[in-house]
Structure 1
């Protein structure tokens, strides 16, 4: 008799993240996830003690993907601040995870523990950006302003519904990033 194949832990996390992005934290339900994975919910408990443990694992994945891996991609190859910032901007948008970013931030509006996590992540992001901007900015106020603009652009760009005449959104976003690197 062949050994039972368990649904990998990562599959549960990814299904949870998809549900979060589509419907918020209330959409992350064990039974619904099991259905989307076409497995029984019993396999869930092999990897997680409860729903809260899954939610924590989802936040860990969000942070690892949108902070750790993005920073690794930016640092790959070294170079001066502007070059690393260009790579950072490309890496942050490469996986198309901005919907997940917005969903986590919406969740943080209702859950103080998630809000603390988002604040810590934003502080990590800003701590990474500061020395890169400091290489070519006039002073600390300019550095902080650019750090805030980068985070605002990253988080808020997808929420802005404005049109830009004959210019495409990617072209306008690229122009904004060029200004930040000037």
Structure 2
């Protein structure tokens, strides 16, 4: 018998209840949600991926619903919070404020686009998730509206520009156009100008390139 075998000759599972954590289960559940959809987020499937006994799941969660609620909480406390927080960061101009939003949304990893789409797919099958998604979308648009209003836009115009900003980016991600970074960068000036109505300065364009299209994101 080798060190990697039990007394009956079989290989032991790599992890047991004492070797997994709540974060392990959430992480593998998120990965599965993104890659395979919510129907594949099952206790047995996740236990096999973690190479642990299914019973260890119940050390951390009451049931599958408890886990699914934790996934929703994670999404709201990461994606939605990151986007909302980015709209509140101080900036000298509206273009620089929008650059900061795009930096969070596109480049720095705080906003997980694939997770967002996985939640949207899940919402098509669940009324409660649909309600959570609607609340999240509203919170994001409201935060963008508040951002535009802080820079002097009338409320109705701020709300419209916020909706254009939000729905354009969501649609852009959904289409997955696979543009080159050079193509996207070439359109940067026009994107900022069309959304804010203010011609970007060279300082603002440099900030945009650094936030979204630097070499690390190419």
TM-score interval for Structure 1 and Structure 2 normalised by the shorter chain:
0.7 to 0.9
Larger Rg: 2
The residue aligned with 1:64 is: 77
Structure 2 counterparts to residues 115-134 of structure 1, below 5 A: 115-134=130-149
Which 5+ residue runs of structure 2 have no aligned equivalent? 1-16, 199-218
TM-score under structure 1 normalisation? 0.83
Structure 2 counterparts to residues 12-91 of structure 1, below 5 A: 12-76=25-89, 78-80=90-92, 82=94, 83-91=96-104
Deviates more, 1:20-29 or 1:169-178: 169-178
Distance in 2 between the 1:134 and 1:59 partners?
30
Structure 2 counterparts to residues 91-170 of structure 1, below 5 A: 91-93=104-106, 94-95=108-109, 97-136=112-151, 138-160=153-175, 168-169=183-184
Count of residue pairs the alignment pairs up = 178
Which 5+ residue runs of structure 1 have no aligned equivalent? none
Distance in 2 between the 1:48 and 1:11 partners?
12
Whether contact under 8 Å (1:73, 1:91) holds in the other structure is yes
Whether contact under 8 Å (2:25, 2:57) holds in the other structure is yes
**Root mean square deviation, CA, Å:** 2.7
Whether contact under 8 Å (1:17, 1:58) holds in the other structure is yes
TM-score under structure 2 normalisation? 0.70
Deviates more, 1:156-165 or 1:108-117: 156-165
